């Protein structure tokens, strides 16, 4: 499990960022969400509780959290960015039909970094990989038709 919302907020405070109820709500929404939401989706979920909050505010706060290292921004294709508060080493399978993103883990891929480093002399800092296809429910719906 990653950090709790409280730990994340402490980390943010130590960088001099003032905590507001909106920031708390955005961060806690992300940390409890498994869906890798966009700024728009976060806005739709939180706007009933924070009617004066704009999408731009959400977006600016997401930027701030990314810079503070509390969340990751996912940029896949031309779609709007999605955000992930799970900072553990993991990969994403992306459904081309409905856009669902599902987490998965595959530790042997760190061997690719070692191999790349050996072959190129790079000090490797990371890699990215995505799997594209149809999620289980889209694939089964397709079969039924
Ligand atoms: Zn799907
Ligand atoms: Mn994820």
Domain 91-144 fold is: Dna Ligase; domain 1 (3.30.1490)
Q: How far apart are CA 14 and CA 21, in angstroms?
A: 17
pLDDT grade, residue 144 (50/70/90)?
A: low
How many Cα atoms are found within 13 Å in the side-chain-facing hemisphere of 145?
A: 6
Q: How confident is the model at residue 1 (pLDDT cuts 50, 70, 90)?
A: very low
* Mean pLDDT score of the chain: 89
Q: Which residues surround ligand 1, an ion (CB under 5 A)?
A: 95, 97-98, 100, 135, 138
Listed in order, the ranges of the chain carrying CATH 3.30.1490.190 are 91-144
Rounded to the nearest angstrom, the distance between the alpha carbon of 20 and the centre of ligand 1 is 36
Residue 135 CA to ligand 2 centre (angstroms): 15
Classify residue 71 by its DSSP letter.
Answer: S
- Residue 120 — very low, low, confident or very high, per pLDDT cuts 50/70/90? very high
Kindly give the distance from the C-alpha atom of residue 106 to the centroid of ligand 2, in angstroms, as a whole number: 13
pLDDT in tens, 51-93: 999 999 999 999 999 998 889 999 887 778 999 999 888 999 9
CATH 1.10.10.10 fits 5-84, yes or no: yes
Q: With b meaning 16 or more CB within 10 Å and e meaning fewer, what string describes 4-38?
A: ebeebbeebeeeebeeeebbebbbbbbbebeebbb
Residues of the chain with CATH 1.10.10.10: 5-84
Measured in Å, residue 76 CA sits from the centre of ligand 2 at: 12
Say what the pTM is. 0.81
């Amino acid at each position: 499990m990653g950090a709790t919302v409280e730990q994340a907020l402490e980390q943010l405070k130590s960088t001099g960022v003032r905590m507001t109820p909106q920031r708390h709500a955005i961060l806690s929404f992300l940390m409890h969400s498994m869906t890798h939401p966009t700024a728009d989706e976060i806005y739709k979920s939180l706007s009933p509780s924070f009617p004066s909050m704009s999408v731009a505010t959400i977006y600016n706060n997401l930027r701030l959290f990314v810079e503070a290292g509390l969340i990751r921004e996912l940029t896949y294709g031309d779609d709007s960015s999605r955000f992930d508060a799970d900072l553990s080493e993991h990969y994403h399978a992306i459904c081309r039909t409905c856009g669902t993103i599902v987490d998965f883990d595959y530790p042997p891929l760190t061997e690719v970094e070692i191999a790349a480093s050996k072959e190129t002399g790079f000090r490797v800092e990371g890699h990215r990989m995505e799997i594209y296809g149809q999620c289980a429910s889209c694939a089964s719906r397709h079969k039924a038709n």
